[in-house]
């Protein structure tokens, strides 16, 4: 008898969301502060 494995749709959705969540945690961009160009020029000098 051949048995076919069925993957539960909700397990696939949960696994996809878990992967996205883990990527968000691991690859968060560092905190970037936006400053005016005049302040940038002052800091360069």
pLDDT in tens, 1-45: 555 567 788 888 999 999 999 988 887 776 778 899 999 999 998
Q: How many domains does the chain have?
A: 1
Report how far apart, in Å, the C-alpha atoms of 17 and of each of 2, 11, 29, 36 are.
32, 10, 19, 38
- pLDDT, position 45: 86
In a domain, 4, yes or no: no
How many Å from the N-terminal Cα to the C-terminal Cα in the chain?
Answer: 79
In a domain, 19, yes or no: yes
Q: Minimal CA–CA distance to 19: which of 7, 27, 8?
A: 27
Global pTM reads 0.50
Domain that holds residue 24: 9-44
In a domain, 26, yes or no: yes
In a domain, 30, yes or no: yes
> Which two three-digit tokens encode residue 21?
């969540």
């Amino acid at each position: 008898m051949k048995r076919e494995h069925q993957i539960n749709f909700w397990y696939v959705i949960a696994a996809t969301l878990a992967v996205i969540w883990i990527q968000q945690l691991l690859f968060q961009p560092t905190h970037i502060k936006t400053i005016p160009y005049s302040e940038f020029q002052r800091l360069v000098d």
